[in-house]
């Protein structure tokens, strides 16, 4: 009789670990998918192309020079030394 209660307790513990605990398998999978979605959105945001105000060449926003709120492809176009 006590053997049945021990088995029942073990089964309840396993069910609790799988479905109700915060650090279970399902939450780790959800976190991984959220991280990959964030990385994709960050990558898309970082590769925005902008047009040079002077010559019209498109350049990534990371490489562009910003002067007075306008984007330029080089120091020569921006008029900066």
pLDDT digits (tens, 9 = 90+) for 17-67: 877 776 666 666 667 777 777 776 665 556 789 999 999 999 998 889 999
Helix, strand, coil abundance in the chain, percent, nearest 5: 55, 15, 30
Cα 54 to its chain centre, rounded Å, is: 34
**pTM (2 d.p.):** 0.44
Start-to-end C-alpha separation, the chain: 88
- The CATH number corresponding to 47-81 among 3.30.200, 3.40.50, 3.30.60, 3.30.2420 equals 3.30.60
Domain range summary for the chain, segments of one domain joined by +? 1-46, 47-81
């Amino acid at each position: 009789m006590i053997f049945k209660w021990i088995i029942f307790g073990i089964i309840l513990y396993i069910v609790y670990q799988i479905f109700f605990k915060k650090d279970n398998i399902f939450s780790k999978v959800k976190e991984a998918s959220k991280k990959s979605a964030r990385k994709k959105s960050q990558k898309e945001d970082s590769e925005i192309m902008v047009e040079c105000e002077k010559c019209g060449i498109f350049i990534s926003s990371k490489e562009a020079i910003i002067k007075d709120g306008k984007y330029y492809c080089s120091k020569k176009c921006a008029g900066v030394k």
